[in-house]
Chain A
Amino acid sequence: MTAIDVVEFEINNEHYALDIGLTREIVEMVQITPVPRAPAHIAGIINLRGEITNIINLNNILGLPEKDGKDIEEHKIIVLVPDAAEGSIVGIIVDAVHSVLQISEKDIEQIDGGLSNEAYVKGIIKIDEKDSENQESDKGERKRLIIWLDISQLLQDLLASTR
């Protein structure tokens, strides 16, 4: 059984995951410089050790409500490997980064059709809740869902849209 490593993060109290191979590093939130007349899904650019890093606003792409400004300092930026976007360095803003998860294939539910295309969902990961407080109530039956995003597809589409 193949196991997949993903990074779990949170946006708007929803849990998401992306392939660990795509991530380069996670940095603290910094001041983002907006680019005039850039598309709405581009939050702006930052200077990451001398490299221009393009910050993508996932909320906009996934159709989630915009961030309300509070706790903005708590947010993190997941910086992706340059290969993911044809050499451009791209970062995505997330509310929080949780952990690296090793998931097995059986825990992934493939989703076909509209949902996966529109929201770039690669699959839904179901894992048992490990929190001790929930242990009693549902005898480990309680599962939580993580939305596994297809970030490479998302980037491909973004790149294609600018051509």
Chain B
Amino acid sequence: MTDEDSYRKLFVAESIENHETIVNNILVLEEGSDDNAIDEIFRAAHTLKGMSASMGYMQMEHLCHKMEDVFHCIRNGEIGITQELTDIFLACTDRIEEMIEDIESGGDSSSIEAEDLVEKLKNYETNGGEEETYLPETEDTDSDYESIISGANSEDIRESTESEDPSQEHPISENPVIPKIQKYIIKIEIADDCNMKDIRALIVLQNLEELGHIVSSKPTSEEIDEGIIEDKLEIIIESDSGEEALKSAASITDIKSVLIEPVGEDITEKTPEYRLFITIEPECGMKDVRAMIVIQNLEKLGNIISTSPSLEEIDSGEIKDSFEVILSSEEPESKIQNNAYGTEIKGVKIEPYNPELPSKEQITPEVLKSTETTEEISAPEPEIQLEEFEPGDLKKKDIKPLDGEKETPNRDKNKDSSKKREVKNLRVDISRLDQMMNLVEDLVINGGRLKQIAKEHQIKEMDEALNMVSRSISDLQNLTMYIRMIPLNHIFNRFPRVVRDVAHHDGKEVEFIMTGGETELDRSVIDGLGDPLLHLIRNGVNHGIETPDVRIAAGKDPKGTVTLSAFRDQGNVVIQLSDDGKGISRKTVLRKAIEKGLLSEDEAENLPDEEVPGLLFLPGFSTAEVITDISGRGVGLDVVKSAIESLKGSIKVKSVEGEGSTFTLTLPPTMAIIEVMMVRINNRRCAIPINAVVEVAKINLDNINRIGKSEGILLRDEVLQLHRLDEMFGQAQPSGIIVILQYQGSKCCIPVDVVEGQQEIVVKPVSNIIGTCPGVGGVTIPGDGDVVPILDVNTMII
């Protein structure tokens, strides 16, 4: 994969995330102003803008920029949110989506014009801007929040006013409240695992450039351009935007920490300094290494101003039995002394030290480290800390050196904190996960084999060691399985937009409620579920919910409600979509069915009420009088049904005329781990899902009675039908053991040879080369490597 490709992929993945944020928050805004939502949109639009600019997708950058401007006006209360405006915004997001798609498929999105939307936004912005005084800075007198906002975006205001209406420039430039230009040092750490540090750094530089004048940066932008960058970046900037704005501009993806400090007050001066004399055991064979370790440990506590011999000299091995370190640190002496001790260190002498401070040291990487640690400790310092520097992390860092983990490389120390900040979106090919899963299972199986060997040869130590291994393996197995699970929100997230669009199109008012989006399903199921659900939801709004006047006439709230809920029920995931609309009309459905020749009039007459909704799933059925482009081309529900069935799920409808209808989708998570009971029938193993098992009983074979063609037994005053699965497995041994199952709402029992026990297994689907076998819900490979079919209780009897 070329660099270009990987950048593009990264860009697309992140843009989709940002795009989703924008859309969802626009919908939130539509419900009423929400500062959080505006903030979120702002952040997302800003990131999108920055990223698209750095990738050279100018159309997108332009559009995002304009959206940002308009949102700025909204945030300042200059423009109210109107229906029309949200429509424009949504149109913008659609355009952005198109662009992202184009980019994903290898284009550069330049073919997609956005000028029309930009024009519209511009109109809004200028209209809104003229109605009220354009003095955002004066508004920030009472609220911190506002000051952050206007600080962060004064650049945008300036840009927008410059480009459109030069007369509006004055309020800004003459505004007395504008913060004075201040010099800052910004220290940025890029996450260790970021693989495009140079790009990230350039984006940061670019973002900051918009806010002020970059005096210098280390490494310089030229160096970064050539890829010369470690995980640290230091920038000196002159800006009037305030620390908050700079911080937010610098905090982009993969940036671990941002530290801003105004230049002028010299913090390092406050820090006490110590001189350490460290002696190494004379017989130590690696004095240079020991010394380096000590220095490294000290570095964690503060800033090493100088060493004697110098670092370079130590590195090249020029060191005697002792060396000297001058360190500036806020840590107590005892701690420093502790840290300096290590293996083969004979003694450490520490004393305060007071020279003039060489000013150039301020921008060396060592200073960065020292200020980081020192400032965490001194709370009243004026610096801004990102939230990740919490006391917990601080403690960890402090403890580490004392733990004796002297050799831990320096960069490890921030690993924990970096995790918290990153919203990582790993895109992995599903086949790789499958491969991984297979390998893990292989491991399980071979582990079992090894255990057996260990037992045969009675090697206790090996057995114990293998126990440890198998514990790790089972953790690994569970982890792999859960990696494949993703929350339903993945597809749920786009539905509010769909509901809104359909409702607006039809002139209906709909409240959409979603619950249970966190329910997890296997990825492959989620993928197959998106379209059928989308169709059902459109259908519900389009056909189910009535227009407001009809609803009022029927004595209902003019605003209809559509509820989408998901939950786990036994081993399955149930998704319910209900609306309080007009329900399914028996008369209309039957008339249509007769018209289409699906039913004869007599049949229709005698059809029980509960079977009426089922007709909707017949191919070629659509009750909508007018075919809209939103739903209903007569290919609707039967397609939904077959899609759900191909996921091995089922769909049911319940409806009360005039009160609404409920669609219930029941989905077995294909790759799910389920608890099964292992039995043997005719000495062949079979797994029965535990949620179908009521109990296991031992009966006297003489008590089996013939009831007509079938057999039954009496168990505790209950007559249970006995089903022999001879045709599936062959005749079970007459052991008298029966498993009582929940079968289609009632109980029944099957005879088995023996019950082997209960365990968790991974359900694998039956391959499509075999096709559907009634009664077989899937297959599984339990720990011992055998292959076992899983009984599907509801279809086992044919």
Contacts and interface: CB of A to CB of B under 8 A. Distances in A.
Contact of A52 (B685, B728, B764, B775): B764
A45 B441 CA distance: 16
A36 B729 contact: yes
A38 interface: yes
B442 interface: yes
A147 interface: no
A44 B770 CA distance: 9
Interface stretch (A62-70, A84-92, A115-123): A84-92
B787 A45 contact: yes
B789 A33 contact: yes
Interface in A109-163: 155, 158-159, 161-162
A42 B773 CA distance: 11
Contacts, number: 88
A6 interface: no
Contacts of A33: 684-685, 779, 786-789
B639 to A, nearest CB: 16
6 contacts: A33-B684, A33-B789, A38-B776, A45-B767, A50-B441, A52-B787
A56 B437 CA distance: 25
B438 interface: yes
A35 B441 CA distance: 21
Interface residues of A, number: 28
Given A45-B779, A47-B781, A36 B728 contact: yes
A37 B776 contact: yes
Which of A35, A44, A47 has the most chain B CB within a 10 Å cutoff?
Answer: A47
B772 interface: yes
A88 B767 contact: yes
A39 B781 contact: no
A39 to B, nearest CB: 7
B785 A162 contact: no
B771 A50 contact: no
A88 B768 contact: yes
B442 A49 contact: yes
B707 interface: no
Interface of B: 437-442, 445, 684-685, 725, 727-729, 764, 766-776, 779, 781, 785-789
B438 A35 contact: no
A88 B769 contact: yes
A159 B727 CA distance: 24
Contacts of B787: 33, 44-47, 52
Interface of A: 33-39, 42, 44-47, 49-52, 54, 56, 85-86, 88-90, 155, 158-159, 161-162
A155 B776 contact: no
B729 A85 contact: no
B449 to A, nearest CB: 12
Contact of A35 (B437, B764, B779, B781): B779
B768 A39 contact: no
Given A33-B786, A49-B439, A162-B771, 6 more contacts: A33-B684, A38-B776, A46-B787, A50-B440, A88-B768, A90-B767
Contacts of B437: 50
A46 B438 CA distance: 14
Contact of A50 (B445, B685, B769, B788): B445
A89 to B, nearest CB: 8
Which of A38, A44, A159 has the most chain B CB within a 10 Å cutoff?
Answer: A38
Contact of B775 (A37, A158, A159, A162): A37
For the complex of A and B, list the 7 residue pairs with the smallest distance between their C-beta atoms, beginning with the closest: A162-B771, A36-B728, A50-B441, A50-B438, A50-B442, A88-B767, A37-B773
Contacts of A162: 768-772
B786 A52 contact: no
Contacts of B438: 49-51
B684 A34 contact: yes
Nearest to A36: B728
Contacts of B727: 36-37
Nearest to B440: A50
A32 B442 CA distance: 18
Contact of B771 (A34, A39, A89): A39
Contacts of A47: 445, 781, 785-787
Contacts of A155: 769
Contacts of A46: 787
A50 B684 contact: no
B788 A54 contact: no
Contact of A38 (B439, B441, B773, B781): B773
Given A34-B684, A37-B774, A159 B768 contact: yes
Which of A34, A45, A50, A51 has the most chain B CB within a 10 Å cutoff?
Answer: A50
A83 B441 CA distance: 22
Contact of B767 (A37, A49, A54): A54
B573 to A, nearest CB: 23
Nearest to A161: B771
A57 B587 CA distance: 53
Nearest to A33: B787
B254 to A, nearest CB: 35
